[in-house]
């Protein structure tokens, strides 16, 4: 114990000597360390308000609006620089220290940066491979006092459009998570090339929504300031063009609510009684693409936002489109087949001449067609030819295959009448006595007993019913 007491003054003297030497060396060297802190995570721009320090010392600096900082009167040597910023605090991420060598008597430049979006994505979503997907970190707070809200369910919704051989197909997607004790919520595996609608609801309050567009970045943030009960506030602002000029008469709505109004002659608007929480406010005006703005509506307060719509839509000169009318029967190929195919053809004039009351009676005019009594009606049977098949289960009745306006109509052999049509509905009929004489698109395995194509007035495009 006595030995320790004896050594302690010696250590104090030694430390004082070291400090004095360090001060003299610093004064002699006059080295300056200048740098920039860059936000590569969210804004892809210099980061203002970051606190920079040299590890193991009390030397600190704060970045200006351009993200610049300066540490002067340094001794030459190797230093480890670290920095912090609210953007890192809110994400739970940290930037690793940077080692820099400072030369005596001169200025040394250094660049510090937040973690990249890809790094943040891999750190926060290790189960989500980095393959054209991203992550959204939300901060859920009380809209009244800003306190974090834990255990709030938050969902993200989006729609992508799949391009393929067929028509463009919309494909909706969604993901969900719950906020932690600090109000943070992480949504992984979201697309980076379409807008994502983030929604949340706390307690008995209304659903709040934020529109997030990652713009091909792997990481983004969203603030959800939710109301705990159904309360309202107001939103006021001006609808403008991108050049700053106002747009009078625009329609302004708070999406997801009943709040709607018209902008006045100065482009100003006020939405009263808007549900509290994060709201998307949209403005529409004739001749302009719609514009949107994000607003956080506080209970009993008024939030101001300006909405910028896109550039005016150019109006083209009138375009005259000329087209040649093609009758329905020509469109379906009836007229062409009537002149070239091996079959029997009836048009409206032929049908009218028969004076028939039932569909099957029309076939009395068709050579080789036989009408077989079936209760109060008839069954149509065509003359047997090559490829026709008898069916003993149907008393050797061999029904033709019917197509109505190009669609196959399966026939029940004992049905009366066999086809639910009346002569007044029919434009034309094509009768083919065997499968091989019918057009290829109407040849079926069960059409060995002939094919009958029926074209009705219902099938005429754009016909008023």
Q: Which of 54, 80, 115 marks a domain boundary?
A: 115
Residue 122 sits in the same domain as residue 111:
no
281 pLDDT higher than 70: yes
Supply the CATH number for residue 440's domain: 2.170.130.10
Considering the entire predicted model, what is its pTM?
A: 0.53
For the segment 43-62, the average pLDDT, to the nearest whole number, is: 91
Please count the other Cβ atoms lying within 10 Å of the Cβ belonging to residue 339.
Answer: 7
For the segment 66-92, the average pLDDT, to the nearest whole number, is: 88
In-domain check, residue 464: no
Query: Tell me, what's the pLDDT at 28?
Result: 47
Residue 334 sits in the same domain as residue 409:
yes
Average pLDDT of every residue of the chain? 83
Query: Tell me, what's the pLDDT at 385?
Result: 44
Residue 253 sits in the same domain as residue 340:
no
Q: Is the preceding omega at residue 349 within 30 degrees of 0, hence cis?
A: no
For the segment 21-49, the average pLDDT, to the nearest whole number, is: 74
Q: Which of 226, 242, 264 marks a domain boundary?
A: 226
pLDDT confidence bin for 163, thresholds 50/70/90: confident
Residue 271 sits in the same domain as residue 360:
no
Query: Tell me, what's the pLDDT at 15?
Result: 37
Domain limits for position 155:
118-226
pLDDT in tens, 307-319: 999 877 666 778 8
Residue 165 sits in the same domain as residue 264:
no
In-domain check, residue 27: no
Query: Tell me, what's the pLDDT at 129?
Result: 59
Query: Tell me, what's the pLDDT at 298?
Result: 93
- How far apart are alpha carbons 281 and 305 in whole angstroms? 9
Q: Which has more pLDDT, 410 or 111?
A: 111
In-domain check, residue 30: no
In-domain check, residue 277: yes
Q: Which has more pLDDT, 344 or 169?
A: 344
Residue 339 sits in the same domain as residue 304:
no
Q: Which of 95, 115, 135 marks a domain boundary?
A: 115
pLDDT confidence bin for 166, thresholds 50/70/90: confident
- How far apart are alpha carbons 332 and 338 in whole angstroms? 12
Residue 124 sits in the same domain as residue 107:
no
Residue 207 sits in the same domain as residue 102:
no
Query: Tell me, what's the pLDDT at 435?
Result: 78
Query: Tell me, what's the pLDDT at 131?
Result: 62
458 pLDDT higher than 50: yes
In-domain check, residue 8: no
pLDDT in tens, 209-253: 999 998 888 888 899 999 999 999 999 999 999 888 999 999 999
390 pLDDT higher than 60: no
Beta partners for residue 328, in sequence order: none
Locate 113 and state its tokens.
């940066």
Query: Tell me, what's the pLDDT at 80?
Result: 94
Q: How many domains does the chain have?
A: 4
Q: Return the percentage of the chain with pLDDT > 90, whole number.
A: 42
Query: Tell me, what's the pLDDT at 413?
Result: 54
Query: Tell me, what's the pLDDT at 49?
Result: 93
In-domain check, residue 4: no
Residue 404 sits in the same domain as residue 436:
yes
Residue 202 sits in the same domain as residue 185:
yes
387 pLDDT higher than 50: no
User: Phi-psi region for residue 356, left (φ > 0), alpha (ψ -120 to 50) or beta?
Assistant: beta
Query: Tell me, what's the pLDDT at 88?
Result: 83
Q: Which of 359, 398, 270, 183 is nearest to 346 (CA)?
A: 359
Residue 334 sits in the same domain as residue 446:
yes
Asked if 434 and 383 count as a contact pair (C-beta separation under 8 A), the reply is: no
Supply the CATH number for residue 301's domain: 2.60.40.1120
352 pLDDT higher than 80: yes
Query: Tell me, what's the pLDDT at 111?
Result: 94
């Amino acid at each position: 114990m006595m030995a320790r007491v004896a050594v302690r003054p010696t250590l104090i003297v030694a430390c004082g000597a070291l400090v004095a030497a360090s001060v003299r060396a610093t004064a002699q060297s006059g080295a300056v360390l200048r740098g920039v802190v860059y936000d590569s995570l969210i804004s892809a721009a210099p980061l203002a308000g970051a606190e920079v320090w040299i590890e193991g010392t009390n030397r600190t600096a704060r970045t200006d609006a351009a993200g610049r900082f300066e540490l002067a009167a340094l001794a030459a040597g190797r230093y480890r620089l670290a920095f912090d910023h609210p953007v890192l605090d809110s994400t739970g991420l940290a930037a690793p220290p940077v080692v820099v060598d400072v030369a005596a008597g001169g200025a040394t430049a250094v660049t510090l940066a937040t973690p990249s979006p890809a790094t943040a994505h891999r750190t926060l979503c290790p189960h989500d491979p980095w393959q054209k997907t991203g992550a959204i970190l939300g901060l859920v707070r009380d809209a009244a006092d800003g306190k974090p809200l834990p255990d709030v369910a938050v969902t993200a919704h989006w729609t992508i459009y799949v391009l393929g051989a067929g028509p463009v197909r919309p494909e909706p997607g969604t993901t969900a998570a719950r906020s932690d004790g600090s109000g943070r919520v992480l949504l992984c595996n979201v697309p980076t090339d379409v807008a994502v609608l983030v929604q949340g609801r706390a307690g008995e309050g209304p659903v709040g929504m934020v529109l997030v567009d990652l713009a091909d970045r792997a990481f983004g943030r969203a603030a959800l300031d939710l109301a705990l009960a159904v309360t309202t506030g107001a939103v006021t602002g001006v609808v403008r063009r991108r050049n700053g000029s106002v747009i009078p008469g625009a329609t302004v709505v708070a999406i997801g609510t009943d709040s709607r109004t018209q902008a006045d002659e100065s482009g100003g608007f006020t939405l009263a009684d808007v549900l509290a929480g994060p709201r998307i406010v949209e403005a529409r005006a004739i001749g302009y693409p719609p514009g949107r703005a994000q607003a956080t509506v506080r209970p009993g307060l008024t939030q101001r936002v300006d909405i910028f719509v896109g550039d005016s839509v150019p109006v083209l000169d009138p375009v005259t489109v000329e087209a040649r009318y093609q009758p329905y029967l020509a469109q379906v190929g009836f007229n062409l087949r009537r002149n070239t195919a091996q079959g029997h053809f009836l048009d409206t004039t032929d049908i009218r001449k028969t004076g028939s009351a039932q569909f099957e009676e029309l076939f009395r005019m068709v050579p080789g067609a036989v009408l077989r009594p079936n209760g109060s009606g008839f069954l149509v049977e065509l003359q047997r030819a090559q490829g026709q098949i008898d069916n003993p289960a149907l008393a050797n009745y061999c029904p033709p295959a019917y197509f109505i306006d190009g669609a196959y109509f399966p026939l029940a052999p004992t049905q009366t009448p066999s086809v639910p049509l009346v002569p007044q509905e029919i434009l034309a009929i094509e009768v083919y006595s065997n499968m091989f004489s019918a057009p290829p698109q109407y040849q079926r395995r069960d059409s060995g007993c002939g094919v009958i194509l029926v074209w009705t007035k219902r099938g005429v495009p754009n016909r008023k019913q």
